[in-house]
Chain A
Amino acid sequence: MKSNHSYIAWGLIVLGFLSAFFSTTSLLDKNGLNADNNPFALKRSAYGRLLARLSETTVDRVWHLGVEEIVPHYMSGDTHGESAPASTPETKDEVEKKVVRKPPIEEAKGWIQKRVISQYTRTNPYGMSEKHRLNINLDIADMLKRSYDLDPTHYGAYNSYNLFITHQTYGGSTKGRAIARQLAEETIELVKEEDEDPEAYITAASALMNLFILKTEDARNNQTALDLSVLKEFRDETAFLLGRFEELQERAEAAGNWDYLSFERQVEIAQRHRFTKKTSSQFDAMIARAESRSMSPSPTEAEVAETID
């Protein structure tokens, strides 16, 4: 019996090995063994979009702790530029007004928050060394890339990654600019396939503005003027993207889906749309200036396109 089992077992092992071997050879020829970079389709799926939104807090924390070396604002409740109040004498009424008795639950939450703040407050008298800072920058860039890969159409994920690679990890280097350019182009191409989510088009418009800024900086570095045709191209493309946003938003409102968004989300989207629209409205002014310059004398003067303020 024992030998029967062994024969069967070894027969199966040999058969299995041969089958796997020949199919492996065939799969290797077509790179069929390669695992795609998206296990269980997490990236760019609904859950990828969720994780991209949730990762904003993580990125925020690492940015503030690692780059600015301060406690993140969502923990401390402070905002940028907030300074300690001037020490002027206060009346008893003013002091009593400030010391408002909170409910016990709020007191308890406040106590926990203070422990969290102290957990992240820097007590090391020395700042980070340059090497350590560079290391952290690379880690943050990886985190931001992961967040971007989860949802490339997410406004925060795209813009924070773009900002970081252009200003932190690579500064204003050629490598950083090349990555930023590719990032913007890929994001825009991806968004153009979108036929439902209006918010993605704000991200694309933002990416287009970043491309324009890169082009403007190139023109400044080369001491050349930006072609009128390029300005018009950017204006028309931005108008198209913002037009698609408005079209899809109307469609979502008509279908009743827009009402499912929380008030805060609607405000957030409206603010981003307003900002992008205001920024892109400068194209008309720039085109008008460029046209008037082209009609004025002194064609030999080198002109550099103005950047958007």
Chain B
Amino acid sequence: MELFRLTFASIITRKTFAIFAMLLLTIPFVLPYMTPWETKPSILEPARAQASWWMLWVAAACWLLFQGANIGDRWASHGILEYFKTLGKGRINQMFQIWLACFSIFVGMILITFGISTFTAMPNDPIEAQHWLVTNFQYVLLFLLVTAPLLLLSIAMGTRFRGAVAYAVTLGLLVHGLFGIRYLEVFLADNKSPLLNFIYVVSPHYHLSDLTSRLVFKLGALPWNELGNIALYLGGLGVLTIGFSIQLFKEIKS
């Protein structure tokens, strides 16, 4: 696992993860007090959970994908991947080691978010508390199904193109999946264009992983059959992304 250790050490040395970790630890406790909570103090706890998850999405968009693209670009450009190839490390092995190095640090951020959202904002009622805990678990699961494959894609694209291009594309996919589709729906309300409908269907509907409303408005946990459906969809997208990433990955940057 030399490539894993090299990548991990490189990320730790750069220390940018620490900035996001600090933000993840502080923003959820500071931001809620900037809202007009005085006339409604009960909004503080949902606001804390909401800020916590927002920050995690920001960390995924601004740190995780960037790291993957940047490291993929650097390792391919400096011949690191080619070197490991000569040592007999296959493409999938190399991808997995780089991915694991980035994601193992990001798991720490996910744990911070899960901890803050679940335990510092849990409702008092036992039934609501149970739903709260389950909803957070469900959110983590769906979040992983979106971000883990996208990280692999950013790494793979980084090895083939420039890091900036790889980051822009994967970030663009994430933003489109979370927000862009909503605008597409507005167009589709008045427009029956087959092309727009096709784009809508084939677009990655990452917004399905956004369970923030279920936490903030205490809607309860997602029914298990619905979760299964969404997980199957996002999982399918994830597997598709992994397949494309393997094809895109390139040990030697020409």
Residues of A within 8 A of B (CB): 1, 4-6, 8-24, 26-28, 32-41, 44-47, 49-50, 53, 196-199, 252, 257-258, 260-261, 265
B46 CB → nearest A CB, Å: 7
A40 CB → nearest B CB, Å: 5
CB of B179 within 8 A of CB of A39, answer: yes
- Contacts A12-B239, A22-B236 known; 18 new A-B pairs at CB < 8 A: A5-B92, A6-B247, A8-B243, A15-B239, A16-B237, A23-B229, A23-B230, A24-B201, A35-B182, A39-B207, A40-B212, A41-B217, A46-B36, A46-B46, A46-B47, A49-B36, A197-B39, A257-B41
Please, which residue of chain B has its CB at the minimum distance from the CB of A252? Answer: B39
B3 CB → nearest A CB, Å: 17
B127 CB → nearest A CB, Å: 18
B50: A residues at CB distance < 8 A: 40-41, 45-47
Given A23-B232, A40-B53, A12 contacting B240 (CB threshold 8 A):
yes
B81 CB → nearest A CB, Å: 14
Please, which residue of chain B has its CB at the minimum distance from the CB of A248? Answer: B39
B226: A residues at CB distance < 8 A: 32
Please, which residue of chain B has its CB at the minimum distance from the CB of A2? Answer: B91
Task: A197 to B38: give the CA distance in the assembly, Å.
Answer: 9
A9: B residues at CB distance < 8 A: 243-244, 246-247
CB of A24 within 8 A of CB of B246, answer: no
Task: A186 to B201: give the CA distance in the assembly, Å.
Answer: 33
B37: A residues at CB distance < 8 A: 46, 260
Q: Does B32 contact A (CB under 8 A)?
A: yes
How many of chain B's residues touch chain A, expressed as a range? 35 or more
Q: Does B57 contact A (CB under 8 A)?
A: yes
CB of A13 within 8 A of CB of B244, answer: yes
Task: A4 to B243: give the CA distance in the assembly, Å.
Answer: 12
Interface residues of B in 203-253 (CB under 8 A from A): 205, 207-208, 210, 212-213, 215-217, 226, 229-230, 232-233, 235-244, 246-247
Please, which residue of chain A has its CB at the minimum distance from the CB of B182? Answer: A35
Task: A28 to B91: give the CA distance in the assembly, Å.
Answer: 37
> A-side binding surface: helix, strand, loop or mixed?
helix
B237 CB → nearest A CB, Å: 5
A18: B residues at CB distance < 8 A: 236
Given A12-B240, A196-B41, A33 contacting B205 (CB threshold 8 A):
yes
Interface residues of B in 85-120 (CB under 8 A from A): 90-92
A15: B residues at CB distance < 8 A: 236, 239, 243
A5: B residues at CB distance < 8 A: 90-92, 246-247
Q: Does B193 contact A (CB under 8 A)?
A: no
B103 CB → nearest A CB, Å: 18
Residue-by-residue, is B20-50 near A (CB-CB < 8 Å gives 1, otherwise 0)? Answer: 0000000000011011111111111011001
B36: A residues at CB distance < 8 A: 46, 49-50, 53
A196: B residues at CB distance < 8 A: 39-42
CB of B239 within 8 A of CB of A45, answer: no
B40: A residues at CB distance < 8 A: 196-197
A21: B residues at CB distance < 8 A: 236
Task: A15 to B207: give the CA distance in the assembly, Å.
Answer: 22
Which residue of the partner chain, among A13, A37, A198, contacts B39 with CB atoms under 8 Å? A198
B46: A residues at CB distance < 8 A: 45-46
B38: A residues at CB distance < 8 A: 257-258, 260-261, 265
B151 CB → nearest A CB, Å: 16
A12 CB → nearest B CB, Å: 3
CB of B92 within 8 A of CB of A8, answer: yes
Task: A70 to B26: give the CA distance in the assembly, Å.
Answer: 42
Please, which residue of chain B has its CB at the minimum distance from the CB of A255? Answer: B41
CB of B229 within 8 A of CB of A20, answer: no
B129: A residues at CB distance < 8 A: none
Q: Does B181 contact A (CB under 8 A)?
A: yes
Quick one: which of A20, A37, A53, A261 has the most chain B CB within 10 A?
A: A20
B125 CB → nearest A CB, Å: 14
CB of A46 within 8 A of CB of B236, answer: no
B41: A residues at CB distance < 8 A: 196, 257
Quick one: which of B53, B57, B217, B243 has the most chain A CB within 10 A?
A: B243
Given A1-B90, A46-B47, A40 contacting B57 (CB threshold 8 A):
yes
B183 CB → nearest A CB, Å: 9
